[in-house]
Amino acid sequence: MSEMDLIDNVIPRRDVIKCTARIGAEIRNVKLSADLPDRTIAAINGLVLEHKVVFFRDQGHLDDAGQERFALRFGKLSPYPEGTTPIYDIDTARGDTGAYVWHIDWSCMDAYPKIAVLRGVTIPLVGGDTVWSNTAAAYLDLPLPLQRLANELWAVHSFPGSYLRSSTEPNTGPMIETEHPVVRVHPETGERTLVLGVYVTRFVGISKYDGQRLLDLFESHVTAQENTVRWKWKEGDIAIWDNRATMHCATKDCGDQRRVVRRATIEGEVPVSVDGRYSVVRSKFIQSTVNNLDR
């Protein structure tokens, strides 16, 4: 049975409502839990691969423990530098500002998370949306000469530190740092996806001045409206996305209203470039306390 047949037999296509032509779908009439049959989990995974990010309304029955158990159905929970709890709390009251910049969750790590499961807990009446972009579609939008250039480029992803940080900001504490190909081959779909975002500190072998312009150029395709989907949260919503084929950011438009979402991430694979080379760890020290630059 093909993956499409499996999805159709488990989750009817009438319950899969596309959000845009290129990315995003709302899945209806599914109550998420750790007790779902293997076929249903496989169908959800297939829809994540197909649409890059999928959304489920009315999942208020899930608490932290339920979210953790459900996320475990997709693989081992990923370690991350924010702490040791399996569910990470992203709270505007704590000043989590990293959500407001385009990023791939923890791309500073070598085997950064492959899937993320995010739950809406406290949602403002106005604003606080999240935007996702399809980085496979963005790669295909590049003119062929730029695709060839991107195929050859490697970038250093670091924590802390990015092009968006001040050059005068003191850089204290151990670093997490990895060299990734700018284009990775998706291990499940075979698509080529762009690996960029706020963790990029420089391109290998290119000056920071030229690198910044290359980053701006490539990311202009990532953030093009036709490659994005914007989700207006309600309490109890669940978003599941392929962290290998998307970038995302929150919208800074809810004023002083509190916004709390909670996230679990699934351990991923070390990226492979188009010529078969693996990402390279430069430093893997983790600070005991870090600034929350990643949501």
Q: Which CA distances in Å does 70 have to 9, 61, 189?
A: 21, 12, 23
Rg (CA), the chain: 18
Q: Among the options 248, 259, 262, 295, which is catalytic? A: 248
First to last CA, the chain: 37
Among residues 22, 73, 103, 119, the one annotated as catalytic is 103
Catalytic residue from among 105, 110, 237, 294: 105
Bridge-based pairing state of the strands 260-266 and 200-203:
unpaired
Q: Under a CB-based contact definition with an 8 Å cutoff, are residues 183 and 136 in contact?
A: no
Helices (H), the chain: 3-10, 38-51, 64-71, 135-141, 144-152, 208-222
Closest CA relative to residue 152, chosen from 174, 182, 122? 182
* Run of H or E residues at 176: strand 176-181
Supply 215's token pair. 């980053």
Catalytic residue, chosen from 180, 186, 263, 295, is: 263
Q: Which are the contacts of 96, defined by CB distance < 8 A and separation ≥ 6?
A: 90, 292, 295
For residue 254, the 8-state DSSP code is S
Q: Is 248 a catalytic residue?
A: yes
* Whether residue 263 lies in the annotated active site: yes
Beta partners for residue 183, in sequence order: 194
Active-site residue numbers? 103, 105, 248, 263
